A and B are shown apart, each in its own frame.
Chain A
Amino acid sequence: MKILRYDAAAIVLSLVVFILFTCFGLQRSGETGYLIIEDSSGRLIYPLSEERDVVLKGPVGKSHIHIEKDSARFVHSDCPDGLCVQSGTVERPGDWAACLPNQVFIYIGDRD
């Protein structure tokens, strides 16, 4: 089987691209952090990489959570104390915030 100079070059190029692609791909598929929300009905998961508004209903009313720039925070809640909004943003794995009256608990975690 005759293999000419650039035949071999093409094959080598393909193998190189294949290997690069595989490595890059493996890296790419596990990048973003996740916001995990636990409320009275169960759990929700959202990627931090996409800007989003999440509205949840609880015993005392609605809680608004905003996700942007790889972080999240309570924007508003119908609870009487407003401590959840005051606690600011959650960014790093393990950070958390909660609206206890409304039974909403948020924290940064992984896909689990």
Chain B
Amino acid sequence: MKKPVKKKRRPDRLARIMNPTVRFWTGVSLIPGFFLSSSLELLLLHCLVFAVAVVLAGKRIRVFYYAMMILSITLFHLLNPVGRVLWELGPVTLTAGALEQGLMKGFTLSGLVLLSLFSVTPDLRFPGRLGGMLARTMYYFEEILNGRGRLEVRNIIGSMDSVLMQALPPGDESVPETESGTRFRGTVLQFPVIILLEVLVWGPVVFFFFIVGL
């Protein structure tokens, strides 16, 4: 008999103080500031800020995933040389411009993923009917995840059937209990966090704007 493996759940510290909807919109508000990052250094700073937020949200940062993504995007950009030649390895000419373009694209994408990782939580409720639908979907998703230990590759359809019959009972008309008690309103502590995030992201952007503007 298979022993159920307990997944080590890291605590989402931000969830304790932040209202899910506020959290989501905070994330959205950071996006334009992020896109206005004019230099690679600023981009890296923003990514670092987001990474810290993701860690606070209790989610694991799969470094390999981001590394592969940044590496592959940079590699593709390096294939089109632009700017000062840094190195020539046979057919490939590495240029500073292409390197910078690739790294910026890669980190921009990584930053966006990190941003959505900490701003979107399962407790997030979309308004209206769609929100209800997503909540139900998440409920059933959890049910499947709970049963997934029983899946066998050898008897894939059969084992799927056994998991699905239990997790997604056909003809189920009961509305799954998704509204668990009162909605969490968030505490006062969330405001310093929000202000800190906004300053860290928009601060340098505004700063550089004035420096360049003057």
Q: Which residues of A contact B (CB under 8 A)?
A: 29, 34, 41-47, 111-112
Residues in B whose Cβ lies below 8 Å from that of A43? 84-85
- Nearest CB on A from B72, distance (A): 16
Q: How far is it, in angstroms, between the C-alpha of A23 and the C-alpha of B80 when the chains are bound? A: 19
For chain B, give the interface size range.
10 to 19
Say whether B83 contacts A42, CB under 8 Å.
no
A44-B80 contact, Cβ under 8 Å, with A111-B93, A112-B93:
no
Pair A46/B83 contact, Cβ less than 8 Å: yes
A104 CB to nearest chain B CB (Å): 13
Given A29-B79, A47-B80, A111-B93, 5 additional A-B pairs, CB 8 A:
A43-B84, A43-B85, A46-B82, A46-B83, A111-B81
The answer on a CB contact under 8 Å between A45 and B83 is yes
Cβ of B172 < 8 Å from any Cβ of A? no
B97 to chain A, nearest CB (A): 8
Question: Count of A-B contacts with CB under 8 A?
Answer: 27
Q: Which of B65-118 contact A (CB under 8 A)?
A: 79-85, 88, 91, 93, 95
Whether A44 pairs with B84 at a CB distance below 8 angstroms is yes
Say whether B81 contacts A34, CB under 8 Å: yes
Q: Which residues of chain B have C-beta atoms less than 8 A from A44's C-beta?
A: 83-85, 95
Residues of A within 8 A of B79 (CB): 29
Q: Which 7 A-B pairs have the closest CB atoms?
A: A43-B85, A45-B81, A44-B84, A112-B93, A44-B83, A45-B95, A42-B85
B85 touches A47 (CB 8 A): no
Closest to A44 in B: B84
Residue pairs across A and B with Cβ atoms less than 8 A apart, 10 shown, are A29-B79, A43-B85, A44-B84, A44-B85, A44-B95, A46-B82, A47-B80, A47-B81, A111-B93, A112-B93
Q: In the bound complex, how far is the Cα of B83 from the Cα of A112, in angstroms? A: 14
